[in-house]
Structures are given as C-alpha cells and as structure tokens.
Amino acid sequence: MSFYQKLRSIQRKNNSLLCVGLDPDIKKIPKFLLQHGNPVFEFNKRIIDATRDLVCAYKINLAFYEALGASGWYTIHQTLAAIPKGIITIGDGKRGDIGNSSELYAQALMDDHGFTASTVNPYMGHDSVSPFMKSKQHGVFVLVLTSNSGAKDMQYLKVGSRPLYEHVAAKVRKWNVNLNCGLVVGATRPKDLARVRTLAPEMPLLIPGIGAQGGDLQAAVRYGCDKRSEMAIINASRSIIYASRGEDFASAARTAAVTLRDEINEYRKTFFRPKRQT
C-alpha cells in the first residue's frame, strides 16, 4: 500500500484528520510517573491508549528523545511499538544533508525506527532529501512554510515575482514522482496555506501550529484539505498531551482530542459536500 493510500485509509477508518504530537518533556509530565522505570514511555503509552481511535497520525519530534541520550533512542522504539498498525507515524527530525549523510538519516528513520513518514528540510536541494523519497510506502513531508516567527527571514524572500516558499512547493510537486511527498505548512499562516493548497491540490499537508501556538483551525481545515476533505494532517501537541498535569492526564488528553477532532469534522461538513469515497 502506498503512503497516500495508507493516509486516506486511516483518515477514513478513524474519521479523523487529527495528529497528536508526542513531545514529552520530563519536566512537564505528571510527577507520579517518575516512579516508573521509563516515565517518558509510560506517559506516551497512556496518551496513545487514550487517543488511538481518534487520530490519523502521531508525530514524534526527535529532539525530545535525542536530548535523553541512549534511553531516548530506545524510547522511540518502545513508543512506535505501542502505536497500532495503520496509524501514520511521523519522525519529525527535519533532516536534510549531503547525499551520504542523508542516506544514513533516511536509513535510521525508515529502516531502524520504521516511521511511516519523515520531515525534511529542502534548503540543500534535491539530493539532500531524495533518499527519503525512494520508497513509495514512506511519506516525506518537506518544510515549505513553518509556523515560527522566524519564517519571514527566509521563506518570504521574493525570488522573481513570488516568495521562496511558493518555489519550494512547486519544486516538491515536480519531485513527487512516487506520490509519497507532502508539505509542511503552519496553521498560523492561513492565507499562505490556501496558496500552497492551490499549488499542490492533491498532496498531503502536515499542518502544525494548532493549539498552544494559536493557529487558525477553521482555516486549516478549509484550506488544508483536498477536494475530498482529506489529506490534511492537523497536528496538536501541548494542548492535548498536557491537558492535565495530574493523574487524570490521559483521560484529559482524550477529552481534548475528542473536542478537537469533532471541531475539525464540523468544519469539514461546513466547507465540503460529502463525496463518494473511491
């Protein structure tokens, strides 16, 4: 099954565009978990068990694990093993380097960890991200327009008559010969999100910035989805996993995820007429 097929399948099965970011900070997880041998994994597992039927994807930001040293690498493996098959897993490392190094980065994320998809930085060009694009089963989300304030430093620079981010989106569309490429576009930039969807009408969009970053959820759904009201992956991390710092953190995460999933689906009904699924 191709990556695009996997994504559509789980979005339809769980009726969800929601992605939960598993970005655990040992300083923020409930203190009672610290008595466990691996409190980070215990935290992740309970979040997964509470939300597994509500999501299409989990995104693991590698920085939160790499900072833990060797135990963090092992925790990634444990966490991925706890995620049900069929749910998309995104290794968020924003990789991108010269050919040999990129080959090894891809090997680590695709073969060692076994992520369904990865995030990559295209600044160094095609050869820096092409190792991630080789397998039709593995998705690769290319940074196009990020949600951080510093995005304006580079991504909006005019190249000819268009901003740089538009050129990147158009370039990735050409690279997408295996139909496994997607684009990362922040929910904090709704007008530009609409423009990216116009440039790439059928590609999946990974949309961070909802929740703690204050992104526009309504616009994320309206402009992020394809014509079938699918292929948008709307990520929320802190607003879900830290919905409570107490012993009820998992049930609070579920409540937050249900609320967000349902709000997304209401916007889908508002902006898209039901279409026959094929």
Residues annotated as catalytic are 94
Question: Hey, how many other C-beta atoms are within 10 angstroms of the C-beta on 80?
Answer: 18
Query: 128 with 97: CB under 8 angstroms?
Result: yes
Distant-in-sequence, close-in-space partners of 254: CB < 8 Å, separation ≥ 6: 50, 51, 54
Nearby residues of 176 by Cβ (< 8 Å), 6 or more positions away: 133, 203
- Which residue matches tokens 């010269």? 98
- From the number of C-beta atoms within 10 Å of its C-beta (0-12, 13-18, 19+), residue 58 rates as buried
> How many residues comprise the chain?
278
10 Å Cβ neighbour count for 255? 15
Structure tokens at 208: 């961070």
- Other Cβ atoms less than 10 A from the Cβ of 258: the count is 15
> For residues 157 and 148, is the Cβ–Cβ distance under 8 A?
no
d(CA 128, CA 106): 10
DSSP letter assigned to residue 243: S
The DSSP-derived string for 26-89 is TTTS-GGGGGSSSHHHHHHHHHHHHHTTT-SEEEEETHHHHTTTHHHHHHHHHHHHHSPTTSEE
